[in-house]
A and B are shown apart, each in its own frame.
Chain A
Amino acid sequence: MTDSPSREDRAEAEAQAWVARLSHDGAGGGDGLAFDAWLDAAPGNRAAYGAALALWHEFGARANDILTELDGLPDGESADLDVPPAPAWSTPSAAPRRAARRSGARLPMRRWLPVAAGAALAAGLALAVLPPAADLAVAKTYTTAKGQHQRIALGDGSVIDLDAESRLSVSLSGAQRRVTLAEGQAIFDVVHDAKRPFVVRAAGRDVRDIGTQFDVKARDGQLTVTVARGRVAISADAGGPGRPVELGPGQRFEADPAGPARLTAVDPQETFSWRAGRLVYRAQPLSEVVADLNRQFIEQTEIADPTLAKLPITGVIVLDNPHAVMSRLSLMLPIRTVPSGKGLMLLRK
């Protein structure tokens, strides 16, 4: 933009540069001292900084809605999204805005390729560079066994963490990033791209990201989706009626083939803790804990006394090895362990 020499303009530009500098996670005490000096260096600096911050915080507070809007901005290329009608308030300058909007919205397509290629090279990935002909999909399947976790870094910067005993396939094309979670659990850290929706197919539904970190669990036909950041939309059951359900941070969606779908509030950090080698339980039955442990370890644990299976467990379990887990649990619960052919057997104390 043109460099206007006015004092207010300079204060404003400097304030915006300070917001950018201080929002860097590496900003340290030295930056603080320089910032402190700047605040008092000119009379308008403090007010200019306050104004820049207000806008900065507003963008943060409305981030999800803005991302959703950016998805919907018309560009004449995406056929899968409804085009919102031009709002009344935009009438005075509607023409230039719409023109600018069109050119802005077309850009992701052009910038996609170099970004993807750069990220893939940086990560040392074997992923093929996407062909410009948008429809050549690169598909790959990942399977984890008992006790295995796998981190899958995609060329677009998105990352998938796959839990034990899971099967997932990834198919990237120019038009869509499609993942199928046939069985198991995974955390998706998706780099948003309005031009290439990220869709996870699991338990007969499509989970579609709107710029997001979320966990999808599909085991025995039951689907659980938990969102940590951003939003996702979950389609209605295959062939079933109804609109998609939209989930925001801290919300969990659960559905099984038989019952109705449920929406609950959760602490997403608890759901995501398996990635860090911890499982968090809130009054869940011991049988469920044992089933989870049997996925995480080769050594298998069996509940010998059926009256133990329903014992409610609340707490954090650190996944080091099954013996250590059980010996810690036996401090709080009326259980003891004996070795068995496959691993461990749980008995009442």
Chain B
Amino acid sequence: MASSGPFEQRAGAHPLLAAFLEKRENLVLFLAARARSMAAAEDLVQDLYLKVAAMDPEAEVRAPVALLYRMAANLLVDEVRSLQRASRRNAQWRSETQKTLGGLDIVSEPAADEALIAAERARQLAEAVATLPPQMRRAFQLHKLEGLTQARTAEVMGVSQKMIEQHIAGAMRRLAERLRR
């Protein structure tokens, strides 16, 4: 993105900014698990950069890395906002392809070959999900596929949040193993 020259100059007098530049990639990875894509995580870290850069360089920061992760975690509280931003972007794109239906049997369709590859991959992923043990599958489906938070998933399934986290980790392990074959 921006050249590193001015960054380094400013960073020299700004310990938090220096820590940010050093930890930038790790912060992206930290946020990526809850973002819908790497690009969305990059967006969030860009927001974090703006916040860091706006802070008083003179302010004493005892543990800059801890502060950065705290700020990053707080950013996710505003995640809803960025999701709305994304959904607006999607809506804009859709409005260009909007159509009035004469009958009921028209649905906008992607190119045939692309759709075929996507459908095949979806089938492969779905089959992998279907082989998970029942509770694990349900946790993965509610949290990852239907977008419930882990807290809400725990509520619906009537188990602890720790258990949901373990189910998700276990599901990822089995899914990765199965899909590698």
Contact = CB atoms under 8 A, between A and B. Distances in A.
A25 interface: yes
A182 interface: no
Interface residues of B, number: 85
B11 interface: no
B172 interface: yes
A16 B26 CA distance: 16
B178 to A, nearest CB: 9
How large, as a class, is the contact surface on chain A? 35 or more
B140 to A, nearest CB: 8
Interface of A: 1, 12-13, 16-33, 35-36, 39, 46, 49-53, 55-63, 65-70, 73, 84, 87, 89-90, 93, 97, 100-101, 104-105, 107-108, 110-111, 114-115, 118-119, 122, 157, 191-192, 211, 229-230, 236-237, 240, 242-246, 249-251, 260-269
What are the 7 A-B residue pairs with the smallest beta carbon separation, nearest first? Answer: A32-B69, A118-B158, A29-B70, A69-B126, A265-B94, A65-B122, A22-B33
B99 A263 contact: yes
B46 interface: no
Contacts of B66: 29, 33
B2 interface: no
A19 B124 CA distance: 21
Contacts of A1: 173-174, 177
B142 interface: yes
Nearest to B161: A24
B157 A115 contact: yes
Contacts of A52: 172, 176
Given A19-B33, A118-B157, A100 B122 contact: no
A100 B34 contact: no
Contact of B32 (A53, A108, A114): A53
A32 B73 contact: yes
